[in-house]
Amino acid sequence: MISINLDGTFLGTKYAIGTMKAPSEPGSIFNISSKSSMVGQPTTAAYCASKGGVTSLTKAAAMYCAHEKLPIRVNSVHPGTCVTPLVKTYYDSQPPEVLQA
């Protein structure tokens, strides 16, 4: 979970900033976090931790770009749950009291 959600975002942000430094035109980086980065869930601790890391990484990268006077904005978006087949399988496997939390 950490490798995909956080390490991948870190590397993408790192190399995007490196590539975007050269041009003088402004640019933007958008990282995909989750509402779970701000509100923990009892059964998805690793997911919440990885997305919390994405949110903090994004803030740090934005501050880095500002400090270096780079014309690069770095933001994250925090969508809610999308009921995909994988999420539905998870929901179906949980007792009702877990899903009410």
pLDDT at 76 over 70: yes
pLDDT band at 101 (very low <50, low <70, confident <90, very high): low
Which residue among 47, 64, 90, 91 is the active-site one? 47
Number of structural domains (the chain) is: 1
Boundaries of domain holding 65: 2-99
CB-based contact 51:38 (threshold 8 Å): no
- What confidence tier does 43 reach under pLDDT thresholds 50, 70, 90? confident
Q: Is 47 a catalytic residue?
A: yes
CATH of the domain at 53: 3.40.50.720
Q: How many other CB atoms sit within 10 Å of the CB of residue 65?
A: 20
Positive/negative CA dihedral, 92, 95, 96, 101: negative
Q: Which of 84, 59, 62, 80 is nearest to 71 (CA)?
A: 62
pLDDT per position as a tens digit, 15-34: 999 999 887 789 999 999 99
Q: What is the pLDDT of residue 77?
A: 97
Average pLDDT over residues 66-94: 91
CB count, 10 Å around CB of 34? 23
